[in-house]
Structure 1
């Protein structure tokens, strides 16, 4: 933490002198595109080039944004789930080719034949062929899924394994259901709940991970806003619990930077937590979607880009990691409108152009 504040102090002086800060630009986009709160950062493996939090925690209020505000990161959770999986693989607790139904043989008989051999890797890389599912779907209903939190996710797995598989497009079958099953596998082999796995992992990096929308446990944290910019009051969303390992983590930007810098360090072989080959595998190892990360090759810049977006209906968070430049771009917002998405795109492209080398 001391190192972080030292870095921030230096950068504040540098940008004040050089006039290169992007804060004014980002804030103008925030206002134009009606984004209540916006946080952004540009980082390398060992440097924070820009870090700022702007706006208000709740629209039409005076609750000003704070540097330690927490944001729900939605599907950016998937990279954390995949990373924890890689740690358990490295520890010998599970293998990439471990089959889901080998860990849960009691579900074998009533599972469709198409799912008999799906593995942890299949599930983490959107190649499990399970049916599409997200928090807006009507089925299964709450009445169908019973028990405590863990039992509900088990019942979901049973339900999905009995449904017709998704048709493969571009080599992928993207479904949050894949990550629900992957989370169950991690819990089974580690004998820990998913929340315990995430919390323990966070402690190794000095990160405080939370779950659900931030205002559920602290109303003085940012409130999410829906597509109509309506602030969502605290409520216990059972579907977010179902999607725990697929998209239900919240975290501050200052903490999330540590996770992203770990990826940048890993790609350069600057950490012993996992091999550089494993980091490469996680972010870029498979076409289109690897382990928790989409990836693409930008023919204009010749850059390999790992990226993802989180959006569970109240927050939009977007992250890109550029392999060749060793830089990452992070945008957090507390709204999920179309305008928010457009504004985020403008800001991230502005930052990428500025830090293209």
Structure 2
């Protein structure tokens, strides 16, 4: 889930019911100072989407940094969000991994276009030709041919997979397109990039990123992985629970679903003051706060240079004034046009928190939005509103835009769920339940155990503690999971039965709205024992 925008989060992008009227011009739009009444703007977004806490970093030429928090770190507790309160910046970490590689390129210890296998001989993709052709640059550009989110169940939710196991699992993930022929977001190749850094430097990704990227950038409080957080000043996680699906219902505290194995793709924890320092070093093309070069301007240009086309459109409209003509992926960054100017940006999504970073290099302006709830309306709406303000663009009510969008998605989700409730598949097990019990193994994920539980069956994905619970018959030789953890998505498991004995299990997410990191559809478990 690390760090990309989740479809289920989009369901939660508005709390109000009913579509908004025509987009109105907010009162703050008349302000001469683009950050005048910032408190009013932030509180309006927080109230609209029920978000407990927000922190912002805004940097501008000739102006002091703005690093500020609003609201509380955790619902029901009084501790406020402050400039140093840590948030999971999730996939904003990808640019930090790219910066670590850029430093090694500057030092001549590797090159962007050398084969990965030269440094990681154990590295292998499904296709041997791709294995030999994959370069360091390719690890960062989402053009490997892997399907969207492939292998994410090795790093999400909380898992016991190691980074070495993630790299080993790549060889079993089948592509859906040709190498370098299109864009599909992945996380597992950034984990591989972390392993590459470790192999080249002889030190852990955590140590190298801390000592060579975070601290030289002036990110004094940031830590590279969840397990290294030692402060109590950390934002809690919140999401809507209690409704028909995750993302609907009341805002509640949820447990963190993070492990260090995914850290190179999305593990950094940082506050607003840290992120202001990150914006500064980016806009200064690698110059740290002491004036020394952390990475060269040449590498800064490399990291911002578009590599993979994400998509195109006809451009802005009255209803979508920020719609880009083009969107691309560079090295750990998205690059797109916003109201006629180049923006370098990235988002981050972790369970219970969403974040966004965006820079307008031509103006020397940068912003980071940190939130402690899964509300896209705050993450992207507040980002967009701040970009508009700092550019002097015509005002647009981004809160209304995301409120409308969220309501539309919720209505579609409810219609889908209603159809599912009335459309339970006909049929059931074709073999005695005892025969389904056993151990099944997928080559990239690992083991799944099915066992008798009273009169029924229970399942456990042995590498994912949250994936445990009863099985409910759901059509011929198929069962729906009822995971006991309400913050994870359920799946439908389908058994292949031969001569009265289940021998294989395939899977898919139960909800068509489940986030792409729940890549159950890429699993194929084969029976290995009773």
**Normalised by the shorter chain, which TM-score bucket?**
0.7 to 0.9
Corresponding residue SS for 1:172: coil
Bigger CA drift: 18-27 or 86-95?
Answer: 18-27
Matching residue within 159, 163, 172 for 1:153: 163
- Cα shift readout 1:118-164 (whole Å, capped 9, x = no counterpart): 1110011222334543796379999994xxxxxx2111111112321
- Cα shift readout 1:8-52 (whole Å, capped 9, x = no counterpart): xxxxxxx9x998241221112112211111011221366445332
Work out the CA distance in 2 between the residues paired with 1:212 and 1:73.
11
Matching residue within 293, 297, 302 for 2:337: 297
Q: Do residues 273 (structure 1) and 284 (structure 2) align?
A: no
Q: Does the 8 A contact of 1:72 with 1:212 survive in 2?
A: no
Work out the CA distance in 1 between the residues paired with 2:70 and 2:182.
39
- Cα shift readout 1:285-317 (whole Å, capped 9, x = no counterpart): 43510010011123xx32011111100212101
Within a 5 Å distance, the mapping from 1:207-286 to structure 2 comes to 207=219, 208-213=221-226, 217-228=230-241, 229-233=251-255, 237=257, 240-266=259-285, 272-286=293-307
Corresponding residue SS for 1:355: helix
Work out the CA distance in 2 between the residues paired with 1:50 and 1:139.
34
- Cα shift readout 1:57-100 (whole Å, capped 9, x = no counterpart): 00122222222101100000001000111011101111111222
Corresponding residue SS for 2:284: helix
Work out the CA distance in 1 between the residues paired with 2:253 and 2:306.
39
Work out the CA distance in 2 between the residues paired with 1:19 and 1:273.
31
Using the TM superposition, give the Cα deviation of residue 219 of structure 1 relative to its aligned residue in structure 2, in angstroms.
4.3
Return 5+ residue gaps in structure 1 as ranges.
1-14, 146-151
- Cα shift readout 1:235-277 (whole Å, capped 9, x = no counterpart): 6x5x632211000110111011111111111189986333333
Select the structure with the greater relative contact order (CA < 8 A; seq sep ≥ 6).
1
Within a 5 Å distance, the mapping from 1:1-357 to structure 2 comes to 20-44=36-60, 47-48=63-64, 50-107=66-123, 112-133=128-149, 137=153, 145=161, 152-167=162-177, 171-200=182-211, 201-207=213-219, 208-213=221-226, 217-228=230-241, 229-233=251-255, 237=257, 240-266=259-285, 272-286=293-307, 287=309, 288-298=328-338, 301-336=339-374, 340-356=375-391
Q: Does the 8 A contact of 1:283 with 1:295 survive in 2?
A: yes
Paired position in structure 1 for 2:523: none
Corresponding residue SS for 1:280: helix
State the structure with more CA Rg.
2
Alpha-carbon RMSD: 3.3
Corresponding residue SS for 2:114: coil
Work out the CA distance in 2 between the residues paired with 1:162 and 1:214.
29
Work out the CA distance in 2 between the residues paired with 1:95 and 1:246.
20
Corresponding residue SS for 1:230: strand
| Moved >6 Å (runs of 4+) | 138-144, 267-271
Q: Does the 8 A contact of 2:154 with 2:166 survive in 1?
A: no
TM-score (norm 1): 0.81
- Tell me the matched-pair count: 329
- Relative to total residues, which structure has the larger strand share, 1 or 2? 2
Work out the CA distance in 2 between the residues paired with 1:139 and 1:221.
22
Q: Does the 8 A contact of 1:75 with 1:246 survive in 2?
A: yes
Corresponding residue SS for 1:69: coil
Return 5+ residue gaps in structure 2 as ranges.
1-30, 242-250, 310-327, 393-530
Q: Does the 8 A contact of 1:198 with 1:209 survive in 2?
A: no
Work out the CA distance in 2 between the residues paired with 1:206 and 1:143.
32
